[in-house]
Amino acid sequence: MHRGKGMKFVGDSRVLAPEARTKKNIPKDYSEYPGKTEAFWPNFLLKEWLVGAVFLVGILCLTVAHPSPLERIADPSDTGYVPMPDWYFLFLYQLLKYEFAAGPYTVVGAMVIPGLAFGALLLAPFLDRGPERRPSKRPLATGFMLLAIAGITYLTWEGASNHDWEAAKEYGKIVATADIDKTTEEYKIASDNTCLSCHGDAFQGGAGAPTLVGTGLSADEIAKIAKEGVGTMPPGVFKGDDEQLKKLSEYIANLGK
């Protein structure tokens, strides 16, 4: 046999190299993977905190610059008020306006259709179990998602464009209130001249008439309006004498002060 022929070298993975016997099982340093990974603490977590802080400060600035559009206290006796949900529920609000989901079929629009939609969302992991991540490779999931986005967008747009925003703004406007003594002579004059039928028993406004609390008008201006009318208020509504008109106009001018 020639030297070196027929000789085989066998390695055993259970035998550690000499330099590995003196080292612990320590993962490689992150510097060996530039741009691919980083330490969770403090590198990654600090970046997350910084991004979160930026968004938090931005939301706080928007809150200060644009306060919440609060409306007046709900009045169950006001049948003219049309409630409006927030934008993220507007598509469901619009859905209830269609014949197949309104009236005797309200349960269809309020429970059946939303139940099917959210049920399909819960079943999404079972309906499409493919490993592909590209939308073109997952036609079922992509189709359902595009259909849902299109439906929500259309219903939201229809609900927003068909709503009378100006009327809703007037109905929900916060108005000043005042303690009204209904035993005074001035209150009786207002009652006798049908002022309360339009402006409310506390002069809070209603039926298309504005509030008479805190108008900012002088007594002379109020007296002129009572005689000549303004807007939808016709002239000659006040039927009392000049003395009664003077008392009433001064009384209304001081409401809310």
Share of residues in the chain with pLDDT > 70 (%) = 77
| More reliable by pLDDT, 37 or 218 | 218
Q: Of 36-50, 84-98, 142-156, 163-177, which range is least confident?
A: 163-177
Write out the CATH class of domain 185-253: mainly alpha
Q: How large is the average pLDDT for residues 101-121?
A: 87
pTM above 0.85, yes or no: no
Delimit the domains of the chain by residue range: 87-172, 185-253
Confidence of residue 3 (pLDDT cuts 50, 70, 90): low
Task: Say yes or no to pLDDT of 27 above 80.
Answer: no
> Following DSSP, what letter does each residue of the chain receive, concatenated?
--TTTT------TTSPPHHHHTS---PPPGGGSTTT---IIIIIHHHHHHHHHHHHHHHHHHHHHS-----PPP-TT-TT------GGGHHHHHHTTSGGGSGGGHHIIIIIHHHHHHHHHHHHHHH---S--SGGG-HHHHHHHHHHHHHHHHHHHHHHHTS-HHHHHHHH---------TTSHHHHHHHHTTHHHHH-TTS--BTTBPP-SS----HHHHHHHHHH-BTTBPTT---S-HHHHHHHHHHHHTTT-
Q: Is the pLDDT of residue 168 over 80?
A: no
Average pLDDT over the chain reads: 78
What's residue 1's pLDDT?
A: 46
Q: Inform me whether the pLDDT recorded for 192 exceeds 90.
A: no
